[in-house]
Structure 1
Amino acid sequence: MTDTGNPPTDTPLRDTPESWPVVSTDLPFTGKKTGVRTDEVRMPDGSVARRDYQVHPGSVAVLAIDGRDRVAVIRQYRHPVRRRLWEIPAGLLDVPGEPPLPAARRELWEETHLRAEDWRVLVDLYTSPGGTDEAVRIFLARELSSAEGERYEVSEEEADMERAMVPLEDLRRAVLAGELQNTCLVTGVLALLAARGGPGGLDALRPADAPWPARPVGA
């Protein structure tokens, strides 16, 4: 096997902003929350290529774990993949100007009727950067308790939603066995396990209000 070595010293080990020239752009479809954009992009060799992608407001997700090492999960039908998936609480950033942390608190309360006292940024990701600009911030929420007040009235897929507290170890096994495939759940579970084993453990995670260049507040 060929050893490709380390990255060049002038190549940072981080994603960096870059934008190739857009010759023309169109938004042929706009849905309730997202749309489809078509850009004609000039390539480095001078050619022009068409790129179609979903325009998305961004999302937040919450890996909420209790003192018994159980994770709050939900199970609901997802029509595009024709599956009922186990997931962690998540939702769109569809309130203009709302910072991600309040949105995450709201999603945790609405979907599991839980609140958390300790919040950290677990991981940030682009769900499918070749086909959508959706960015997701996954929070770690700890010190859980039952939330007071009435939950919102559920409808559509959420009316059939199941809720459970599942041991983290059971989720780990199911993820690696290919039995759980939701992006945020898989990423959140593996990121939590990696963070626990890293220098400083969970205390080394970023604060809940850490900058998020993919979705800067007020942009």
Structure 2
Amino acid sequence: MTDDSLSWETIDSTVAYSCPGFEIVNETVQLPDGTETDFDYLTEPPSVCILPLTPDGEVVCIEEWRQAVSRVNYGLPAGGTESDDVDLEAAARRELREETGYEADRLESLVSVEPANGFADAVIHFFVARGCRPTAAQRLDHDESIRVTTPSLEELTDAVADGALRDGRVVLALSYYRLFAEDRDEE
């Protein structure tokens, strides 16, 4: 899918701003027509998002305060990879356990996406977690305020359909699962 005639050449790259979780990178680039210009983007480690399903067909969801949109957000367990994570599945299991207190019998890769590749290098790796059961207390980060809920798959789908649920990760995970992966469960 690469068309080299569209490629930009990076001439210089510096970190303009750094904080826990992400950095803003400023690059000087040369466009295909020879023009030099600046390009800024957000860079962050890969992240995971988990669609956790209980044996009873419920979805383990979270309600979490999101300062950027000034409201409680209805979502799925998700987070960035950490240096101790041996792989993406380990990161997904850790995030599920920390944010919800649930653990899964098994995890399956669902899809990986670049949600905002016009201004960020973010990649989210989605997993379906099956056989989820509460096994421990939540272990939240110092800046997390999370409440666990367990709607049915249909209730969650209805919330997406009527616009009550706006978190892009949930919309994508649930849509992809319902369109492409749910049928595999019934085979």
Q: TM-score, with normalisation over the residues of structure 2?
A: 0.89
Do 2:28 and 2:39's aligned partners in 1 also have CA atoms closer than 8 Å? yes
| Number of the residue aligned with 2:171 | 186
Residue 179 of structure 1 deviates from its aligned partner by: 1.4
Aligned-partner Cα distance in 1 for 2:141–2:17: 27
Superposition pairs for residues 62-211 of structure 1, below 5 Å?
62-95=50-83, 98-148=86-136, 151-152=138-139, 154-156=141-143, 158=144, 160-196=145-181, 201-202=184-185
Do 1:33 and 1:94's aligned partners in 2 also have CA atoms closer than 8 Å? no
What amino acid is the match of 2:120?
T
What amino acid is the match of 1:164?
T
Calculate the aligned-residue CA RMSD, in Å: 2.3
Task: Assess, with a 3 A threshold, how the Cα gap between structure 1 residues 17 and 67 changes in structure 2: closer, same or farther.
Answer: farther
Q: Deviations over 1:102-155 (max 9, x none)?
A: 01101111111111112111111112111111111010010122225x543553
Task: Assess, with a 3 A threshold, how the Cα gap between structure 1 residues 38 and 153 changes in structure 2: closer, same or farther.
Answer: closer
Moved runs in structure 1, 4+ residues, more than 6 A?
Answer: none
What amino acid is the match of 2:95?
E
The answer to which of 182-191 and 16-25 deviates more is: 16-25
Q: Deviations over 1:84-113 (max 9, x none)?
A: 101100111132663111011011111111
Do 1:70 and 1:168's aligned partners in 2 also have CA atoms closer than 8 Å? yes
What amino acid is the match of 1:152?
R
Q: TM-score, with normalisation over the residues of structure 1?
A: 0.76
Residue 38 of structure 1 deviates from its aligned partner by: 0.7
Aligned-partner Cα distance in 2 for 1:23–1:47: 12
Structure 2's unaligned 5+ residue stretches are none
Identity %: 25
Task: Assess, with a 3 A threshold, how the Cα gap between structure 1 residues 196 and 22 changes in structure 2: closer, same or farther.
Answer: closer
What amino acid is the match of 1:90?
A
Aligned-partner Cα distance in 2 for 1:99–1:54: 23
Residue 59 of structure 2: SS of its match in structure 1?
A: strand
| Number of the residue aligned with 1:49 | 37
Aligned-partner Cα distance in 2 for 1:24–1:63: 40
Aligned-partner Cα distance in 2 for 1:89–1:118: 16
Structure 1's unaligned 5+ residue stretches are 1-11, 205-219
Equivalences, count? 185
Task: Assess, with a 3 A threshold, how the Cα gap between structure 1 residues 44 and 170 changes in structure 2: closer, same or farther.
Answer: same
